[in-house]
Amino acid sequence: MSVFTPVTAEALSDWLRRYAVGRLAHVQGISAGVQNSNFFVTTTLGRYVLTLFETIPRAELPFYLHLMAHLARHGLPVPAPIADQDNEYLGTLSGKPAVLVMRLTGQADLPATPARCERVGAMLAGLHLAGLSYGRRQDNPRGAAWRSATAAQVRPFLPGDEQALLDAELAFQVRVPTDALPQGVIHADLFRDNVLWDGEHIGGVIDFYFAGCDALLFDVAVTVNDWCALPGGALDEARCRALLGAYHAERPFTDEERAAWPAMLRAAALRFWLSRAADFHLPRAGEMVLVKDPDEYRDILRQRTRNVPPLVAGSP
């Protein structure tokens, strides 16, 4: 989205006095993102990103900010939030909850080659392993409860065949034994636009504001559905093998996860079909959300109800 809430250089300069990051040199709005106002902030001491939260309730923000701080402390390239003179991350600017984070460098949205998929799989496993020692808990905000509620809202807008697909999928998903799967903190939105590349290395993983606690395999499925899908939605086997093999080398999949893999791919496809359909059919007043095509994820869901490659073909 574009910047919703304007911030003047004067107000920002004044606000930055609460931090030890030097003096404001430059500020520029960022025309990307879906639920916050973001700005590149350059000071005499460094480069940062300022985020004003437009929709997430203030009480839910510490989970995300301390998660990013925790993952950065564990050596992963995520936007570490900056503490102010009171050692706090969350402030208030222009009347909105606000945070300053380290600016990461790199290029997003690069083509999903097998080599990049391998690095993404390893990084996702690193995020999951580091998350195991994170102490705060907050449910996946787009988990099973949200899917049921959102399905009821968008169903009336769908044509008959899509209603049938939705009904069948919801009936299928309630029978999936997700409690048997390893749980943890998931990024839940590790799409290509949220990975910054520094050459062939990952220089940054951004946008943790859909993170929450859920089955780790759901996160793997979200990631595979974006990084390994061919046009039309079918999975590319070479990319799947690269991503899943690198993940498995860091955190080996369990038998329960192997069994649940096709169902998780469907659950992950359903989640993005529903959110895109909701953004399309039920736009919220005043929001300038970039509406993405719901049909892409309808087609991915249909593909996943057919055969999918097993989890890490060839591994024990």
Q: CA-to-CA distance for 311 and 189, rounded, in angstroms?
A: 20
160 binds a copy of itself (CB under 8 A): no
Contacts with a copy of itself by CB under 8 A: the residue count is 38
With CB under 8 A as the contact rule, the residue among 82, 185, 195, 263 that binds a copy of itself is 82
73 binds a copy of itself (CB under 8 A): yes
Which window, 18-26, 143-151, 214-222, 298-306, contacts a copy of itself (CB under 8 A)? 18-26
Angle, helices 255-281/144-154, rounded to nearest 10 degrees: 40
Q: Is 2 in the site for a copy of itself (CB under 8 A)?
A: no
CB of 49 to a copy of itself, least distance (A): 11
From 24, 65, 98, 127, residue interacting with a copy of itself (rule: CB under 8 A): 127
Q: Which listed residue (122, 166, 221, 274) binds a copy of itself by CB under 8 A?
A: 122
The CA distance from 97 to 64, in Å, is 13
CA distance 316 to 312: 9
Least distance in angstroms from the C-beta of 225 to a copy of itself = 22
Amino acid at 102: M
In the complex, minimum distance from the CB of residue 10 to a copy of itself, in angstroms, rounded to a whole number: 17
Task: Give the nearest distance from C-beta 268 to a copy of itself in angstroms.
Answer: 23
Is 274 exposed, middle or buried (CB count within 10 Å of its CB: 0-12, 13-18, 19+)?
buried
Q: Is 242 in the site for a copy of itself (CB under 8 A)?
A: no
- Binding test (CB under 8 A) with a copy of itself, winner from 176, 222, 244, 246: 246
Among 9, 11, 20, 115, binds a copy of itself (CB under 8 A): 20
Q: How far apart are the first and last CA of the chain?
A: 44
Which are the contacts of 5, defined by CB distance < 8 A and separation ≥ 6?
A: 37, 52, 54, 94, 95, 96
Q: Which is nearer to a copy of itself, 74 or 258 (CB)?
A: 74
CB of 44 to a copy of itself, least distance (A): 5
CA–CA separation, 290 vs 279, rounded Å?
9
Q: Is 69 in the site for a copy of itself (CB under 8 A)?
A: yes
Contact 165, 269 (CB under 8 A): no
Which segments of 158-305 does DSSP mark as H helices, in order?
Answer: 160-173, 216-227, 237-250, 255-281, 294-304
- Please pick, from the candidates 11, 32, 110, 132, the single residue that binds a copy of itself as defined by CB under 8 A: 132
Residues 67/185, Cβ–Cβ less than 8 Å = yes
Nearest to residue 83, comparing CAs of 74, 75, 94, 73? 73
Q: Could you list the residues that contact a copy of itself (CB under 8 A)?
A: 19-23, 44-46, 48, 69, 72-77, 80, 82-83, 85-87, 100, 102, 119, 122-123, 126-127, 129-130, 132-133, 201-202, 246, 249-250
